[in-house]
Amino acid sequence: MKIYEKAPAKINLLLDVLRKREDGYHEVEMIMTMVDLADRLEMSELPRDTIIISSQVGYIPLDEKNLAFQAARLIKERYEVQQGVYIHLDKKIPVAAGLAGGSSDAAATLRGLNRLWRLNIPEEELCALGAELGSDVPFCVTGGTALASGRGEKLEPINCPPQCWVVLAKPPINVSTADVYGRLRANELKTHPSIAGMRKALARGSFHEMCGNLGNVLETVTLELYPEVRQLKESMIRLGADGVLMSGSGPTVFGLVSKEAKLARIYNGLRGFCKEVYVVRMLT
Ligand SMILES: C[C@@](CO)(OP(=O)(O)O)[C@H](O)COP(=O)(O)OP(=O)(O)OC[C@H]1O[C@@H](n2ccc(N)nc2=O)[C@H](O)[C@@H]1O
Ligand SMILES: Nc1ncnc2c1ncn2[C@@H]1O[C@H](COP(=O)(O)OP(=O)(O)O)[C@@H](O)[C@H]1O
């Protein structure tokens, strides 16, 4: 038997850090949503009790470092599954980009193997498994739009954003999430984005208010370390995007655009100096 799962990319419409915790993680409040740029996973049973990962791209690990491998191993161990699985990852989401590509692959693996092996694991339990793999994995299990707190694993579903275009641009640099959190001075942050403001904007379905309430405190670190990310933000604003923000720890910058007529100018303007540009829709 063979099954397929989509693993969409996430963006953070808002990312606030409240404090550093004793366990080394940071207490966060984030508003997260999915966009229509997705990896595709194909999972099939193997006659031998083993996990094999393949991908069409050569720049991700295919061994136990791969988050899909870790998800398969976890579910096999926890539910004492003695069957093997072959997982092919058709990667479309840029890697180490702040778009949770690896986390979404892990979440899709949990969902997919739950179906393939008919385990009937409830979504809540899949989320708890996901939290063992990474802070963003529980959100990727549920998808939709959510307010995430704790280290990212506590989820409250909220109104989805009004439909719009999302332009994603990833500069050719690698940003380590651990490094960005490590450099953040959480208790010295001068301003915090407003969760209440963003929630209200989404509840009202106001595109304009959503753009006005975008905010990400990790920009204070990544934009200082990598001036090209700041330049990318400035270019997107200049080219006419209605709201612009860095996603997660970066380096991807997203622009929200309400009018299709504006897209060509933004896309062509960015492509002049940034190779990886994608025009997608919100997944609502
Ligand atoms: C910043 C965010 C925003 O959505 O995403 P990305 O930029 O990675 O996409 C997330 O908080 C990232 O989540 P994820 O990538 O799953 O992080 P994890 O694997 O759990 O943690 C990687 C490292 O980041 C730091 N970390 C992560 C989450 C958190 N709330 N506090 C932290 O300090 C820790 O140093 C941890 O060792
Ligand atoms: N299935 C996977 N897809 C992409 N990257 C993966 C995967 N499994 C493990 N990784 C590793 O995880 C790291 C973070 O990748 P990714 O999840 O794309 O980053 P981000 O959370 O910043 O969007 C990369 O260094 C990559 O080598």
| 132 and 52 both lie in a single domain | yes
> What lines the ligand 2 site, CB under 6 Å?
60-61, 65-68, 89, 95-103, 105, 177, 248
DSSP state of 116: H
Hey, whose CA ends up nearest to atom 21 of ligand 2? 100
Hey, whose CA ends up nearest to atom 32 of ligand 1? 25
Question: Which percentage of the chain shows pLDDT scores above 70?
Answer: 100
Rounded distance from Cα 137 to ligand 1 centre (Å): 10
> What lines the ligand 1 site, CB under 6 Å?
12, 15, 24-26, 28, 30, 98, 100, 103, 134-136, 151-152, 177-178, 181, 248-249
Closest-approaching ligand to the CA atom of 63: 2
Yes or no: say if 32 and 99 are a contact pair by the CB < 8 Å rule: no
Rounded distance from Cα 174 to ligand 2 centre (Å): 11
Which is it for strands 2-20 and 215-216: parallel, antiparallel or unpaired? parallel
| 134 and 195 both lie in a single domain | no
- CA torsion sign, 81 to 65 to 102 to 86? negative
Q: Nearest CA to 9 among 88, 97, 135?
A: 97
What residue numbers does the annotated binding site cover?
A: 94-104
Task: Give the model confidence (pLDDT) of 90-141 as tens digits.
Answer: 999 999 999 999 999 999 999 999 999 999 999 999 999 999 999 999 999 9
Q: Nearest CA to 193 among 43, 28, 26, 10?
A: 28
Which H or E element spans position 268? helix 263-271
Task: Give the model confidence (pLDDT) of 148-183 as tens digits.
Answer: 999 999 999 999 999 999 999 999 999 999 999 999
| 232 and 276 both lie in a single domain | yes
| 50 and 115 both lie in a single domain | yes
| 260 and 194 both lie in a single domain | yes
Burial 214-250 (b: 16+ CB within 10 A, else e): bbbbbbbbbbeebeebeebbebbeebebbbbbbbbbb
Q: Is 242 a catalytic residue?
A: no
| 86 and 124 both lie in a single domain | yes
157, 191, 226: which is the final residue of a domain?
A: 157
136, 157, 178: which is the final residue of a domain?
A: 157
| 175 and 232 both lie in a single domain | yes
Range of the domain at 231: 165-281
157, 192, 226: which is the final residue of a domain?
A: 157
Identify the pLDDT of residue 222.
98
Hey, whose CA ends up nearest to atom 7 of ligand 2? 102
pLDDT at residue 284 above 90?
no
Catalytic residue among 105, 136, 170, 242: 136
> How many C-beta atoms surround the C-beta of residue 30 within 10 A?
24
CATH number at residue 225: 3.30.70.890
Predicted complex ipTM: 0.98
| 26 and 45 both lie in a single domain | yes
Angle between helices 101-116 and 123-131 (to 10 degrees): 140
pTM over 0.90: yes
Task: Give the model confidence (pLDDT) of 212-229 as tens digits.
Answer: 999 999 999 999 999 999
Residues 71-79: what's their mean pLDDT? 98
| 153 and 172 both lie in a single domain | no
Task: Give the model confidence (pLDDT) of 16-60 as tens digits.
Answer: 999 999 999 999 999 999 999 999 999 999 999 999 999 999 999
| 11 and 135 both lie in a single domain | yes
Identify the pLDDT of residue 104.
98
| 207 and 75 both lie in a single domain | no
CATH number at residue 148: 3.30.230.10
| 178 and 69 both lie in a single domain | no
Domains held by the chain: number: 2
3-state SS, residue 284? coil
Q: Is 91 a catalytic residue?
A: no
